[in-house]
């Protein structure tokens, strides 16, 4: 394994940890749900008279020539109404027209979808077609089409009512709510609030998405709605999303609410989400609150660890200095290990990690962690080799051998060869020989051959 591999693994671990705290919803500016079907399936009926048109339309769509694709899909239904391609060609014609972006094209797209609904109710793309129609009406409404706006509002109101069977037209409901929330004038907020007032289990996913839509409004009223959801929604996931999106508001009121959640909630996952929300909150006082949770004073270990992680993610000299100071003030070995890992992700802490590794007053596991993370930084291999010579504890020396194997550069191989040949500790020689056997350096193979032959 090359020296580059382990830093990548370490970075991936940090990203995965960060991702676990992120919301399921898409970030601002991104669609709440992806279009299910964006490219027609490969041609399947070579003997069908519409097959050449279908192939041409599919190729045009694939190269994003939407005007040509729309015309070719239209020709399929006009010239070959009995073709096996025709039921879904209506959907793809509508999709291509929608992607052109013109209002008249979008109205023609709705006509194609209406024709599909009337003539081919069992077409494979029917459910996708309902969602597409809602998206198109939402875009038309945003551009001032009052008829489309009324249809979107009716669809959104239906989504706000309880009693919808689980899984039924969920994407279409979301598309309707999303379109309404983009229409401006605050007209979507009352409908979204009615969705969030639902308590049936089947609406939980819809409520999660409604939380994000409410957060985009950025008003004191939407902030109040998010607070009510965070307190009262029966779904833990919905409550967590509400806390997360409150961190975007930047207001003192939202910060006080997040702190209240941390003080009073019995839901540990919600409290962990609140710690993350503190780390994202733009109010300067939020960072002081986050440090308070890292310090402890009766705070559960899991929350302290989360606070330390998110402070470390800031990557600033100030946050690193704070974490190094906290390391010196805490006696908890597990927390020290978390601090070592967090500091390893910021530049400028390389030699501090080596100093921890060499500090006999620190717990052995913390010292081993410091060696491991130092190996993932830009510390020169010569300094790691020097650390091996300075250490006397076998377990720590064994850790250095492992770190040198990860480096796998010329200097690391040199040191492993020296250990394998001359270290007085037989077990450590065997460890070095084991890792040399996994090196691609030709000198490693030569050394092993010489040891075998001696």
**How much is the average pLDDT of 50-79?**
96
Q: In the predicted model, what is the mean pLDDT of residues 154-167?
A: 66
Confidence category of residue 9, pLDDT binned at 50, 70, 90: very low
Residue 145 has pLDDT above 50, yes or no: yes
Nearest CA among 72, 107, 78 for reference residue 92: 72
Averaged pLDDT score across all residues of the chain: 86
More confidently predicted of 85 and 23: 85
Residue 217 CA from chain centroid, whole number: 23
The residue to which tokens 């508001």 are assigned: 249
Largest Cα–Cα distance in the chain?
A: 91
Q: Which of 2, 11, 23 is nearest to 280 (CA)?
A: 23
Residue 410: how many other CB atoms lie within 10 Å: 11
87 or 179, greater pLDDT: 87
Provide the pLDDT for residue 289: 93
Evaluate the CA torsion angle 158, 161, 162, 166 in order and state its sign.
positive
Tokens linked to 23: 């919301």
Tell me if 213 sits within 8 A of 177, measured CB to CB: yes
More confident of the two residues 346 and 391 = 391
Which residue did the predictor score with more confidence, 31 or 141? 141
CATH 1.25.10.10 fits 185-313, yes or no: yes
% residues pLDDT > 90 (the chain): 65
Binned at pLDDT 50, 70 and 90, residue 36 comes out as low
Report the pLDDT averaged over residues 245-267.
Answer: 92
> What does the alpha-carbon distance between residue 376 and residue 406 come to, in Å, rounded to a whole number?
9
Contact 257, 288 (CB under 8 A): no
Report whether pLDDT(24) > 50. no
pLDDT tens for residues 372-416? 999 999 899 999 999 999 999 999 999 999 999 999 799 999 999
**What number is the average pLDDT over the span 228-238?**
94
* Range 130-149 burial, b when 16+ CB lie within 10 A, else e: bbbbbbbbbbbbeeebeebb
**What is the per-residue pLDDT for 37?**
59
Q: Residue 30: is its pLDDT beyond 50?
A: no
pLDDT of amino acid 149: 80
Give the mean model confidence (pLDDT) for residues 142-150: 82
Can you give the pTM of this predicted structure? 0.65
Q: Which CATH architecture has domain 50-161+169-176?
A: Alpha Horseshoe (1.25)
Instruction: Report the percent of the chain where pLDDT is more than 70.
Output: 88
Please report the pLDDT score of residue 393 as a whole number: 95
Check whether 342 has a pLDDT greater than 50.
Answer: yes
Long-range contacts of 230-236 (CB under 8 A, 24+ apart): 230/257, 230/261, 230/270, 233/196, 233/207, 234/199, 235/204, 235/207, 235/208, 236/267, 236/269, 236/270
Whole-angstrom CA distances from 102 to 92, 137, 179 are 16, 13, 17
- 172-228 pLDDT, tens digit per residue, is 777 878 877 777 666 778 888 888 998 888 888 889 989 998 998 889 999 999 999
Q: Is the pLDDT of residue 229 over 90?
A: yes
Residue 126 has pLDDT above 80, yes or no: yes
- List Cα–Cα distances, 114 to 33, 87, 137, in angstroms: 22, 12, 13
pLDDT in tens, 288-339: 999 999 987 788 989 999 999 999 998 889 999 999 999 999 999 999 999 9
pLDDT at 164: 58
Domain boundaries, the chain: 50-161+169-176, 185-313
């Amino acid at each position: 394994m090359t020296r580059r591999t382990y830093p990548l693994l370490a970075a991936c671990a940090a990203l995965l940890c960060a991702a676990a705290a992120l919301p399921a919803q898409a970030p601002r500016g991104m669609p709440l749900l992806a279009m299910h079907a964006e490219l027609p399936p490969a041609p399947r009926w070579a003997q069908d008279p519409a097959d050449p048109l279908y192939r041409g339309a599919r190729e045009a769509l694939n190269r994003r020539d939407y005007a040509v694709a729309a015309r070719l899909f239209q020709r399929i239904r006009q010239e070959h109404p009995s073709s096996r391609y025709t039921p879904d060609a209506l959907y793809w014609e509508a999709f291509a027209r929608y992607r052109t972006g013109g209002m008249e094209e979008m109205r023609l797209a709705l006509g194609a979808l209406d024709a599909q609904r009337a003539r081919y109710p069992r077409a494979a793309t029917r459910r996708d077609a309902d969602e597409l129609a809602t998206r198109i009406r939402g875009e038309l409404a945003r551009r001032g089409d009052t008829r489309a706006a009324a249809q979107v509002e009716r669809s959104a109101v239906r989504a706000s009512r309880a009693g919808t069977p689980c899984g039924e037209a969920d994407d279409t409901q979301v598309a309707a709510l999303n379109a309404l929330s983009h229409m401006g004038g605050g007209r979507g907020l009352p409908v979204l609030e009615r969705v969030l007032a639902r308590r049936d289990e089947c609406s939980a996913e819809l409520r999660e998405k409604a939380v994000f839509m409410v957060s985009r409004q950025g008003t004191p009223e939407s902030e109040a709605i998010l607070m009510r959801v965070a307190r009262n929604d029966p779904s833990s996931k919905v409550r967590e999303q509400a806390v997360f999106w409150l961190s975007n508001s930047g207001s003192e009121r939202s910060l006080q609410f997040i702190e209240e959640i941390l003080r009073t909630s019995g839901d540990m996952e919600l409290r962990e989400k609140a710690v993350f929300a503190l780390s994202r909150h733009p109010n300067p006082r939020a960072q002081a609150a986050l440090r308070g949770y890292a310090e402890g004073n009766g705070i559960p270990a899991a929350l302290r660890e989360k606070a330390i992680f998110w402070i470390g993610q800031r990557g600033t000299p100030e946050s690193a200095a704070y974490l190094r100071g906290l390391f010196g003030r805490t006696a908890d070995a597990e927390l020290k290990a978390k601090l070592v890992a967090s500091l390893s992700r910021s530049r400028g802490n390389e030699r501090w990690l080596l100093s921890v590794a060499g500090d006999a007053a620190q717990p052995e596991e913390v010292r081993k962690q410091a060696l491991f993370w130092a190996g993932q930084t830009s510390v020169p291999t010569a300094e790691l080799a020097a650390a091996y010579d300075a250490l006397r504890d076998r377990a720590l020396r064994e850790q250095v051998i492992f770190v040198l194997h990860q480096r796998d550069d010329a200097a690391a191989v040199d040191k492993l060869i020296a250990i394998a040949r001359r270290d007085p500790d037989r077990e450590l020689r065997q460890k070095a020989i084991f890792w040399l056997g996994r090196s691609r350096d030709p000198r490693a193979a030569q050394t092993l051959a010489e040891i075998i032959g001696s």
